[in-house]
């Protein structure tokens, strides 16, 4: 790994990919990172529609980003001219929403004359775990959020090989949908985890998805249908929550463990909103693998994780992007060629 270009670089990270306006500040010193600030404004305007309204999300990012930026700088105890690099999410996500953070970040970088790193949202989720432990490839990375269930092998810096993904719903989406049908509210993940504490995890039998598969994919639609039938048959919300959580955790951990055995990796990063789930963390702790989770507040979408991905790119000596980079709604996390 190359040394950082400066002894201490303050990196601003911005994520406006969906309905959270996130700005964070990370300090990079000789290859080591420290999160100095992580501020997120979660938009509530969408609740009345039962889903994220893209146009409203963009507008609200525009209205909020300056204030969130000010709060992040204040939390970090730094002024804007101390920043040495800017990283902002360029995709994937809602294009109008992405553009707000991307343009704002470019503006800050240009005004300060510092490097700008257009950053992949999933690389941000993965490097959120760098807040807790040094992350040096090779490792496996399981990203489980409301929009993604992706399992990557990371053989070397900047190279991401997709070894498994969901065939239907994302893991977080399944938590959200089952919480909604049980009347537990939104977001469903924390609500299911809470209700599960008083439920019986063996009350509702769930069939393991994709049992016997040779690959490392995931599927949650069968669990969702089984949950609907159990709900109609009178299963209580806590029993349904506990049983579904057990089944979801089982399939995530079992498939990841098999992928670790197949690839020979002994370190696994588990990140994204669902990585906040305590039962999932406990199950991974029992695998014997070295499992690294993001620190508090870094599982769900945020700006600090984008700054951490920027820090990894700087440490690896990757060239910064140009100010011409645009927002991409669909952007696979393929090989990001490392620079010499």
Binding residues for substrate are 143-147, 176, 189, 277
Minimal distance, residue 82 CB to ligand KG4, in Å: 29
Chosen residue from 31, 185, 187, 295 binding ligand KG4 by CB under 6 A? 187
* Interstrand relation of 8-15 and 20-29 (parallel, antiparallel or unpaired): antiparallel
| Pair 315, 2: CB distance under 8 Å | yes
Q: Which residues of 230-246 are buried (b: 16+ CB within 10 A; e: fewer)?
A: bbeeebbbbbbbbbbbb
Task: Please state, as a whole number, how many other Cβ atoms lie within 10 Å of the Cβ of residue 304.
Answer: 33
Tell me which H or E stretch contains 37: strand 32-42
By three-state DSSP, how is residue 152 classified?
Answer: strand
CB under 6 A: which stretch of 42-50, 111-119, 156-164, 266-274 binds ligand KG4? Answer: 266-274
Can you name the residues that pair with 227 across neighbouring β-strands?
A: none
Q: Which of residues 124-153 bind Zn ion (CB under 5 A)?
A: 145
* Interstrand relation of 8-15 and 85-91 (parallel, antiparallel or unpaired): parallel
* Closer Cβ to ligand KG4, 108 or 275, answer by number: 275
Chosen residue from 99, 276, 289, 311 binding ligand KG4 by CB under 6 A? 276
Question: Which x/- pattern, by CB under 6 A, does the window 107-146 give for ligand KG4?
Answer: --------------------------------------xx
| Pair 119, 302: CB distance under 8 Å | no
- The answer to whether residue 256 forms part of the interface with Zn ion (CB under 5 A) is no
Minimal distance, residue 250 CB to ligand KG4, in Å: 14
Minimal distance, residue 96 CB to ligand KG4, in Å: 16
What phi, psi does 331 have (nearest 5°)?
-140, 105
Residue 176 contacts which entry, ligand KG4, Zn ion, none (Cβ below 5-8 A, type-dependent): ligand KG4
Say how many residues make up the chain. Answer: 340
Closest CA to 273 of 101, 136, 148, 102: 148
- The answer to whether residue 193 forms part of the interface with ligand KG4 (CB under 6 A) is yes
Residue 175 contacts which entry, Zn ion, ligand KG4, none (Cβ below 5-8 A, type-dependent): ligand KG4
Question: Which x/- pattern, by CB under 5 A, does the window 287-316 give for Zn ion?
Answer: --------------x---------------
Chosen residue from 92, 115, 273, 303 binding ligand KG4 by CB under 6 A? 273
In whole angstroms, what separates CA 214 from the centre of its chain?
26
* Closer Cβ to Zn ion, 145 or 182, answer by number: 145
Minimal distance, residue 114 CB to Zn ion, in Å: 25
Closest CA to 271 of 78, 60, 122, 109: 122
By three-state DSSP, how is residue 23 classified?
Answer: strand
Q: Which of residues 143-162 bind ligand KG4 (CB under 6 A)?
A: 145-147
Minimal distance, residue 207 CB to Zn ion, in Å: 29
Enumerate binding residues for Zn ion (CB under 5 A): 145, 301
């Amino acid at each position: 790994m190359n040394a950082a270009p400066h002894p201490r670089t303050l990196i601003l990270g911005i994520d406006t990919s969906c309905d959270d306006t996130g700005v964070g500040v990370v300090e990079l010193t000789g290859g080591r990172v420290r999160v100095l600030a992580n501020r997120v404004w979660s938009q509530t305007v969408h609740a009345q529609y039962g889903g994220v309204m893209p146009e409203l999300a963009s507008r609200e990012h525009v209205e909020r980003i300056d204030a969130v930026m000010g709060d992040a700088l204040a939390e970090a105890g730094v002024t804007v001219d101390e920043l040495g690099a800017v990283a902002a999410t360029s995709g994937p996500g809602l294009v109008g929403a992405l553009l707000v953070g991307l343009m704002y970040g470019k503006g800050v970088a240009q005004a300060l004359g510092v490097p700008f790193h257009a950053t992949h949202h999933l690389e941000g989720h993965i490097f959120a775990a760098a807040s807790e432990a040094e992350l040096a490839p090779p490792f496996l990375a399981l990203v489980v959020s409301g929009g993604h269930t992706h399992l990557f092998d990371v053989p070397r810096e900047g190279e991401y090989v997709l070894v498994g993904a969901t065939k239907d719903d994302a893991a977080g989406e399944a938590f959200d949908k089952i919480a909604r049908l049980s009347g537990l509210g939104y977001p469903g993940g924390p609500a299911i985890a809470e209700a599960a504490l008083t439920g019986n995890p063996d009350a509702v039998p769930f069939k393991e998805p994709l049992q016997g598969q040779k690959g490392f994919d995931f599927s949650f639609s069968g669990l969702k249908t089984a949950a609907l039938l159990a709900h109609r048959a009178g299963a209580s919300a806590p029993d349904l929550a506990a049983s579904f959580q057990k089944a979801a955790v089982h399939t995530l951990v079992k498939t990841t463990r098999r992928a670790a055995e197949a690839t020979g990796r002994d370190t696994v990063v588990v990140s994204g909103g669902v990585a906040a789930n305590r039962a999932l963390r406990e199950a991974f702790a029992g695998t014997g693998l070295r499992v690294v989770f993001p620190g508090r507040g870094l599982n769900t979408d945020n700006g600090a994780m984008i700054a951490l991905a920027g820090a990894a790119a700087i440490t690896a000596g990757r060239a910064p992007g140009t100010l011409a980079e645009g927002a991409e709604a669909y952007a696979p996390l393929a090989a990001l060629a490392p620079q010499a």
